[in-house]
Structure 1
Amino acid sequence: MCFFAPTGFVSLTEEGERLQLGSHFLFPNYNPDLLLNIVKVPTAGKMRNLVVFVVILQLSITIIDTKDEFKFGDIIAFPSKLCNCFTYTHYAVWVGDEYFEGKKPGQNIFEYNGRVAGCVFNKLPTAKEHKKDNYLDDYFVVGTYKEIRIRILQQQHTCKTYNPFANNCEHLATYIRYGEKISLQVSLDPELQKMLDSKKSCEALCKASSSRGPG
């Protein structure tokens, strides 16, 4: 008995003692400990065990996808409400487990945080809505690993005073990824321009409705 996977055959031996997979498995990073040893059972039992195997395989796929959700230098967007009148998006950069002086265990993003008014490492708030948003990849050259790392180190030690029009969280994120300071939400949203004063932070003008300080 056998069935075909996209990159190899999955078959049961004649004795029905073990599930075997071709050397070119669909997921090269799979965990072999997740595979089932299928003992010799009637045909109905084999099918039942096969279903269990597929379920476990699907769980392993989910684990792989979650682990690889972000890569070093990815921009992460956090949509949030400001003053309950319009949406202001907070941005951060994914750094993962990369070592940086001053970065604590568990901290995996780099951002301009309005609460501390600085460029800091922080922990991704998984309970808060977020997504990968490399929205300028088609227009600017993405920095190399070395370039992104140098920019983070530079901003970590020389983070300038917050300015919604020239130095906000989006400016920081785009500079680190592309080497260009860009903030589309400020330049394209006339209502946001009316609300913000270049000499004051968002928090000084209006308390954000979310628990996270705007950047």
Structure 2
Amino acid sequence: MKSPFLVVGTLFLLSITGGECSSSFVFFFQQNYNFGDIIAFPKVMGCKCMPLATYKHYAVYVGKEEFEGKKPDEDIFHLTGPVQSMKVADCVFGKLSTQGEHELDNYLDTIWTIDPVHIKQRIKELHKNCPAEKSKEFRIGSWKPFSHNCEHIANYVRYGNEVSLQRGQSGENNVKNPNISEEMLKEIKEKLCAKSCEEVCPLDAPNAG
């Protein structure tokens, strides 16, 4: 199922600073969302501890697919909840139309393959049953901005792996990934950085003539 929306396209610009890559939003294009696509919502957090910090909220597009507990007008699945009470955060269905600016962000498609059947199974597994970090005790409704956030959940639903990078955001260096190894995380970052370089500077790619 596809649904057309005008969204902000992302072009990853290579910025070599200590071997890290950063990203910027540079153009607009028409994008169709398919079932299982990851949607990012650029946000700004204004609080005393992190004034005007930028981050991305993440959700998985489900469109008109039917699930138990999903209302007909709900078309996304995400980890969300009032910031004032983190314990009530949970994995629920919601409406894309209420989230503001949004963009397609399947940035790990170059690394992992997807299976719609598995995506459906993971949504059923997590719906109103969002676990805490798997490396710690199981607790319903757990949300932690850096180590167990909406991006971890969205990537788990699509790919089966909990990963959060917050690429190009002010919290990029603060996110943690307790449920994957350091070796896997390093490999992910290296592949994404190499892919960004190939897209922006094709003549610098390893196989360029």
TM-score scaled by structure 1?
A: 0.54
Helix, strand or coil: the match of 2:57?
A: strand
User: Could you tell me which amino acid in structure 2 is paired with residue 147 of structure 1?
Assistant: H
Q: 1:191 to 1:140 in 2, by over 3 A?
A: closer
Range 77-86 or range 123-132, more displaced = 123-132
Q: How many residues align?
A: 131
- One-letter code of the match for 2:41? F
Q: What's the CA shift string for 1:177-198, capped at 9, x where partnerless?
A: 0100000029x8568639x9xx
Please say if 1:120 is aligned against 2:92.
yes
Q: Provide the C-alpha distance between the structure 2 equivalents of 1:118 and 1:126, rounded to a whole number of angstroms.
A: 17
Report how far residue 163 of structure 1 moved.
2.0
| 1:98 counterpart (29, 43, 65) | 65
Mean CA deviation greater in 74-83 or 64-73: 64-73
Displacement of 1:164: 2.4
The structural deviation recorded for 1:139 is 1.2
**Distance across 2 between alignment mates of 1:90 and 1:139:** 21
Instruction: Please state whether the residue corresponding to 2:119 is helix, strand or coil.
Output: helix
Change (3 A) 1:71 1:190: closer
Q: State which of 51, 65, 78 in structure 2 corresponds to 1:111.
A: 78
Cross-structure match for 1:180: 161
Alpha-carbon distance in 2 for matches of 1:164, 1:64: 29
Q: Find the aligned partners of 2:3 and 2:129 in 1 and give their Cα distance.
A: 36
Superposition TM-score, scaled by structure 2 size: 0.55
Q: Deviations over 1:93-143 (max 9, x none)?
A: 00000111110120000011132511000010267110111011001222x
Whether 2:32 is the aligned partner of 1:69: answer yes
Structure 2 partner of 1:81: 44
Letter in 2 for 1:148: I
**2:3, 2:174 → 1: CA distance?**
42
Structure with bigger RCO (C-alpha 8 Å, 6+ apart):
2
Name which one, 1 or 2, has greater alpha-carbon Rg.
1
The CA RMSD over aligned residues, in Å, is 3.0
Structure 2 unaligned runs (5+)? 7-30, 83-87, 132-141, 177-209
- When you count helix as a share of all residues, which structure comes out higher? 1
Give the Å deviation of 1:145.
1.2
| Secondary structure, aligned partner of 1:152 | helix
Whichever residue aligns with residue 123 of structure 2, its letter is: I
SS at match of 1:69: strand
User: What letter is aligned with 2:143?
Assistant: Y
Provide, for residues 19-62 of structure 1, a one-character-per-residue CA deviation record: whole Å limited to 9, x for no partner: xxxxxxxxxxxxxxxxxxxxxxxxxxxxxxxxxxxxxxxxxxxx
Looking at structure 2, the residues matched to 158 and 92 of structure 1 have their Cα atoms a distance apart, in angstroms, of 16
**1:184-214 residue CA offsets vs partner (Å, 9 max, x unmatched):** 029x8568639x9xxxxxxxxxxxxxxxxxx
What is residue 113 of structure 2 aligned with on the other side?
141
